[in-house]
Amino acid sequence: SAVISQKPSRDICQRGTSLTIQCQVDSQVTMMFWYRQQPGQSLTLIATANQGSEATYESGFVIDKFPISRPNLTFSTLTVSNMSPEDSSIYLCSVAVQGRTYEQYFGPGTRLTVT
């Protein structure tokens, strides 16, 4: 498995500002994923991030709103830009470990509240 950390663990932000969430993995991984989750609900995939290429965004999510960086095989960031209260959610980073038949491992999440 992989050990994943996220920073910050939680934050309260004002409308119109931006927040960058960091995801760090203890080993090199092929793919990283960014999800959004409302408490008690299922996961919604925001984008898939490959090292050295542009992130692939799911329907309803755009790069201008959720820019992603993936500078190396152990690190990624997700920025939530120009935030509104609707962006209040839990943001999860996950990784797919090469050779481990596709299961994903998750970070502890970042709980974001926009006021």
Partner 1 sequence: AQSVAQPEDQVNVAEGNPLTVKCTYSVSGNPYLFWYVQYPNRGLQFLLKYITGDNLVKGSYGFEAEFNKSQTSFHLKKPSALVSDSALYFCAVRDGDSNYQLIWGAGTKLIIKP
| Contact set for partner 1, span 3-22 (CB under 8 A) | 4
**By C-alpha distance, which of 88, 79, 102 is closest to 23?**
79
- Dihedral pair phi/psi, residue 85, rounded to 5°: -55, -25
Distance from the Cα of residue 91 to its chain's centroid = 6
The residue within the footprint of partner 1, chosen from 21, 25, 74, 107 (CB under 8 A), is: 107
The residue within the footprint of partner 1, chosen from 7, 11, 24, 48 (CB under 8 A), is: 48
Q: In whole angstroms, what is the distance from residue 81 CA to residue 79 CA?
A: 6
Per CB under 8 A, does 27 bind partner 1?
A: no
The residue within the footprint of partner 1, chosen from 19, 23, 25, 33 (CB under 8 A), is: 33
Work out whether strand 110-114 and strand 10-13 pair parallel, antiparallel, or are unpaired.
Answer: parallel
Size of the site for partner 1 (CB under 8 A): 24
Chain positions contacting partner 1, by CB under 8 A: 1, 4, 30-31, 33, 40-43, 45, 48, 92, 94, 96, 101-109, 111
